[in-house]
Amino acid sequence: MIMLPPSQASAEHVRELMKYGDVAIDVIVDGNGPAIVLLPSLARDSEDYDAVARGLANAGYRVLRPQPRGIGRSRGPMRNISLHDLAMDVAEVITRLGAGRAVLVGHAFGNWVARMTAVDHPQLVRGVVIAAAAAKQYAPELTVAVTKAGDPALPDRERLEALRFAFFAPGNDATVWLTGWHPEVRDSQRAAVAAVKQDEW
């Protein structure tokens, strides 16, 4: 585990690089207390949770935000992996930085990682919060919208339309999600979900 020097950490949180095997996970850490792990949506980073993490830390929790493989300094195999591998990343974070027990919050894609972690490592998981989870079966146009929303090559107008359809209720500012996408990890994450039968998680 490598602690960033203070000059590279924000005043509000620290970042730690946790390594195991051929995997390195970049973790944003806020606060102290019982651990809560926040897992982001498909092809997005855990910095989406800045405001949430601040509030939870102020309420007396230790908030852990592992960056998914391929984002920030997180590294590891990206091909021929499954949700079980991504769950192991989370389990290692809980074991090393969360005192061995945590509540997991998974947004959209992150809910699959959270559920898989709870199945594979129940002794580490106090509970799972599912935020914006997909239905058991959902319209194909939703998958198309998520892909368009995260494609920086498309015009902002088209991306905003996709964001409003897939993620934002009327009256909310979808422009905040024009940035923060990592399309280079999207296919790997989708393949990791497809590699596991739904009834496993």
Domain boundaries defined on the chain: 2-200
pTM for the full predicted model = 0.90
Predicted pLDDT of residue 133: 80
Q: CA distances (Å), 60 to each of 34, 55, 57, 106, 107, in order?
A: 8, 9, 5, 20, 22
Task: pLDDT band for 158, please (50, 70, 90 cuts).
Answer: very high
Looking at residue 20, its pLDDT comes to: 97
Out of 1.10.287.610, 3.40.1190.10, 3.40.50.1820, 3.40.50.2000, the CATH code matching 2-200 is 3.40.50.1820
- For residue 162, give the DSSP letter: H
The mean per-residue pLDDT over the stretch 177-192 comes to 95
